[in-house]
Structure 1
Amino acid sequence: LSDTISFDPDRARELLAEAGAEDLELTMTVSNTYPTYFSTLLVSMFDDIGVTLDVEPVEFSTWLNDVYTNRDYELSFVNHVEPRDFNSWANPDYYYALADNDAFTEVQSLYVDAMRETDPDASAALLAEAARVVAAQHPADWLFTRSDIVALAPGIENFPVASTSTRLDVADVTVTR
């Protein structure tokens, strides 16, 4: 769905002008577990379109309480990489639930239908349709894809080398000397 919205600072400036958003100042709550270069880059990119972005670094436990649990935030940055977590978009209590009720209802219905579908291809098509509805609402946007670098010592076998999750399954790893 990368074609849903493109990186276009000029269009962003136009939309802000159309909305009459002058001297816009936003706060991004971010866990201090992330490197600061993400925030620095975002501050610079927002500044480029005329928006002041204040970064509020917090402990992860504070982020979980304020952002995730209490939905008390304007913007946030988090590395969502859990596989098969589309159900979050169909959950009205999830912290980034869709604001548009019609879109939310459509996503919820498509998700339920996809989970009931016994044909994997038909289920995938329903989920893809739901994903397009979500993407059109822009409740969250993908900033980057992280690349994992794995270095292994000789004698280590079956270590996962492609993991996009914070969970690391080492059940099949063996060490020989």
Structure 2
Amino acid sequence: TYARLGGEIIASQLRDVGIDLEIIPVEWAQWLDQVFTKKDYDLTIVSHTEPNDIDIYSRKDYYFNYDNPAFDKVIADLGVTSDEAKRKELLGQAQKILADDAVVGFLYELPKIGVWDANLQGLWENAPIQANDLTKVKWSE
């Protein structure tokens, strides 16, 4: 529903400036086939929030169709660098390139609501991604 509602909002805002869109709702399996696999779309909305997935922008077969050799070089360097300070620097460079090139438009973040036992420690109260980071989770007495 987030994609359909988001599409209606974007279509309304673009209509206000003279751009008419046709919204074509698709189910997940159809989106995977048509958009993700065949890259047959003009605009699409999808909740794409995964940790450490910045390298997807350097994949030539990915549905974004993004191509920037400078970005690819940064990602290649990142893939062979274990020094944390250098990795942080490279990730910053990669993020700046993506922002400058406006590869994707981040519209909003879906809420992530969690309920858990008070004795379970280490979960993020307001996680920045949809995935659950369990690396620091433990039971307390």
Q: TM-score range by the shorter chain?
A: 0.7 to 0.9
Structure-1-length-normalised TM-score: 0.66
User: Where does residue 81 of structure 1 map in the other structure?
Assistant: 49
Question: Which 5+ residue runs of structure 2 have no aligned equivalent?
Answer: none
Determine what percentage of the aligned residue pairs are the same residue.
24
- Aligned runs of 1:24-43 on 2, under 5 Å? 33-34=1-2, 36-43=4-11
Aligned residues: 136
Equivalents in 2 of 1:72, 1:139: separation in Å? Answer: 17
Equivalents in 1 of 2:44, 2:108: separation in Å? Answer: 15
Secondary structure of the residue aligned to 1:112 is helix
- Aligned runs of 1:57-136 on 2, under 5 Å? 57-99=25-67, 104-136=68-100
1:104-126 CA deviation, whole Å, 9 max, x = no partner?
A: 11111111112222221111211
Cα pair 1:156 1:173 within 8 Å, conserved: no
Distance change >3 Å, CA 67–CA 147, structure 1 → 2: same
Equivalents in 2 of 1:111, 1:170: separation in Å? Answer: 26
Q: Which amino acid aligns with 1:70?
A: K
Cα pair 2:78 2:87 within 8 Å, conserved: yes
Structure-2-length-normalised TM-score: 0.80
- Structure 1 residue runs of 4 or more that deviate by more than 6 Å after TM superposition: none
Secondary structure of the residue aligned to 1:132 is helix
1:131-176 CA deviation, whole Å, 9 max, x = no partner?
A: 2122222221111123333355xx55427433444444789687xx
Cα pair 1:87 1:111 within 8 Å, conserved: yes
